[in-house]
Amino acid sequence: MTLERVLPDYSDPQFIHHLCRYQFAERYVRGKNVLDDGCGNGYGADYLSKTASSVTGVDISEDAIGYASNNYNRSNLIFRQMDSACLQFKDETFDTAVSFEVIEHLSPVDCESYIKEIKRVVKKGGIILISTPNHDTARIHLKSEGISICPHHINNLGAKEFKRLLKPHFNSFAIYGQRLKGSFIYSFLRTLDIFNLRLRLFSPSQREAFYVSMDIKKNNPKTEDYVISRYMIHQCQTFVAVCNRL
């Protein structure tokens, strides 16, 4: 596994982007016993603990768990250092599990173990939320700006690969996409751009000017500037799978 961490900073667009997924998960954790698998520095587990019955955050990093334990101290929240591919919990311990931005850090072999483990520790009838960046759009963005793929990401998935990964493990799941909102006109134009040509044909400066004209808060977004929906997921920045543990 390779590691990268996001620290809570409301002026950091990357943090806002991550926080949106925990806000999306809130509807699935209310009153539940929740696992945050790959909790990082713990801000997301803390956020969920405001509405969940209990939250257990686990991460392979000793430093991350140390930070989380020192900074988040709710009575219904605990943190434990643990490998996601070998969870130290009994079968069907949790009602709900969230695991955001973990898959891309795992080798294909570890990824299979990780999904089997998170499924094992969630009760039948429970919900598992898993997110990962959309490599199809990220690759085009980075290439156009002369930036290499993040070295911490060793398992990069597009929509087809993500579905292929989940299908053997879950009979029922839905994939949502997280993306920035824009004006009505921009939303309409996106429906026509089925091949992501806006990313392939325009330079970063041209795209930047276009985003401004379409009222897209790209540089200093707030959580309300994002939408997570099942619409046009091939154009999203990040996938969020909602999986039913049958």
Q: Domain residue spans in the chain?
A: 13-179+236-245
Answer for the pair 70, 91: CB distance below 8 angstroms, yes or no.
Answer: no
pLDDT of residue 168 exceeding 60? yes
Whether the pLDDT of residue 70 is over 90: the answer is yes
At 55 the three-state DSSP class reads: strand
Give the per-residue pLDDT at 192: 53
Q: Of 137, 220, 175, 217, which is closest to residue 24 (Cα–Cα)? A: 175
Q: Which of 134-143, 146-155, 193-202 has the lowest mean pLDDT?
A: 193-202
Indicate the average pLDDT of the chain: 85
92, 93, 96, 99: CA torsion to nearest 10 = -100
Q: Work out whether the CA dihedral 9, 12, 14, 16 comes out positive or negative.
A: positive
CATH number assigned to the domain covering 13-179+236-245: 3.40.50.150
Encoding tokens for residue 44?
């997301």
| Alpha carbon distance 149, 211 (integer Å) | 23
Number of neighbours of residue 217 by Cβ within 10 angstroms? 17
Q: What confidence score (pLDDT) does residue 165 get?
A: 95
What pLDDT does residue 102 have?
A: 94
